[in-house]
Structure 1
Amino acid sequence: MTAKVFFWSTEEKQWQQAPSLPEGRHHTYLQAAGGKLFAFGGFINSAQGQWLNTADVLPLDEAKNT
């Protein structure tokens, strides 16, 4: 489980790191639409230490690098 995000740069022909998610998660679905990138859902740690499915929709804000 990680907050790190990587993308494949076709220009550089290598993986590069993007801004991190607000918290670690796994099985998050990434989708590009309208020139923007969104992260949907995924599992996060609950207060009890168990994985909890979240309905978050997180847009990439390139201007704020978040």
Structure 2
Amino acid sequence: MEPCDADYDTDGSIDVGDVVLQAQVWRARENVPGSGYDPMFDPIRDGVIRVQDLQWVAQYVGVDCSGP
């Protein structure tokens, strides 16, 4: 996935808002095989994306999508 494809709230940057939106999608289909659940956003590796996971991810997320 290109970084800007993850700009779910289309504000021009990848930030915690995008992480939260994506996590809500994943949470809805968390236990479905082939659901696209991404362990990258589950640093605690318990199979569930929780608030503390989002806070951890948000520290490392920050991509400018405005481009040249």
TM-score bucket (shorter structure):
under 0.3
Higher strand content, 1 or 2:
1
Q: TM-score, normalised by structure 1?
A: 0.24
Larger Rg: 1
Q: RCO greater where, 1 or 2, for CA within 8 Å and sep 6 or more?
A: 2
Higher helix content, 1 or 2:
2
